Amino acid sequence: MLEIGADDYTAGVFFWISTGFGILLFAILSLFLNDLAEKLLNRFLKGKKNELPRSRIPNEEHVKIEEERQDALTKPCLSENKNAVIDIEWIREERQNAAKYQKQARIDLAIRYAQQEFALYASDDDLKQLGKNIIIYAEDINFEKIKPVKVKDLSNLDLYHFGWNIWNCFKVSRQDRAAHFLKLTFAGALKDVEENSIKTHLKDDEQKGLIKIMEDFTDF
């Protein structure tokens, strides 16, 4: 009986010692694991916090790259549009200059033709004035600036033919303006002829007289 009681006592003591040791070990492990878990959690949160700006950097760089790409695509378009405008302006200016050159060439040709036709029938001053009158006619300037020119030994038919040739050279108006030009330029020779009559006889007897009808001034 005594041995049985001693064994029960020993077993009880061993049980409580084991239980206490287990509780102590559990408490130590709990503290250690809590501290470890807290450190891991803090490190994880810190890593996330540091990772957020980094994650934004690629996005910001991507946006910047995209903006630069859009600028690169837009600038050539703007440059092309600018060049197109410049080209159009250059073409327009070239065409205007060409038209002015052609017109001036026509004026020079008409003056040279008039000087040749009237060289024997008008003074030097009258030839110069005739050239000025031709410029007024070609440039569509007010006829008030036209001054009369004196000629000799030429018939009205010669003057009509000259008027038609000048009209044909420029074709800047109807023939009634050409008739008005003749009436003012050769005011003395045509003082008794109406402008309407001048207009209707501009091309009479084309190859008669001292001044002939010229269909094409390029032949001059």
pLDDT 10s digits, 182-203: 999 999 999 999 999 999 999 9
- φ/ψ of residue 141, rounded to 5: -85, 155
What is d(CA 178, CA 136) in angstroms, rounded to the nearest whole number?
Answer: 12
Span 164-190, average pLDDT: 93
Q: Average pLDDT, whole number, for the chain?
A: 79
pLDDT digits (tens, 9 = 90+) for 25-76: 666 666 666 666 566 656 655 555 454 444 444 455 555 556 666 655 555 5
Helices H / strands E in the chain, number of each: 5, 0
* pLDDT of res. 216: 83
Q: Is 89 exposed, middle or buried (0-12, 13-18, 19+ CB in 10 A)?
A: exposed
| Average pLDDT of span 107-112 | 95
Query: Which is higher by pLDDT, 216 or 183?
Result: 183
* C-alpha distances out from residue 183 to 133, 159, 192, 196, Å: 12, 10, 10, 10
Reduce the DSSP state of residue 164 to 3 states and report it. helix
Average pLDDT estimate for 77-87: 61
Find where tokens 């061993």 sit.
14
Question: Side chain identity at 196, as an amino acid letter?
Answer: N
Nearest to 149 by CA among 174, 169, 121: 121
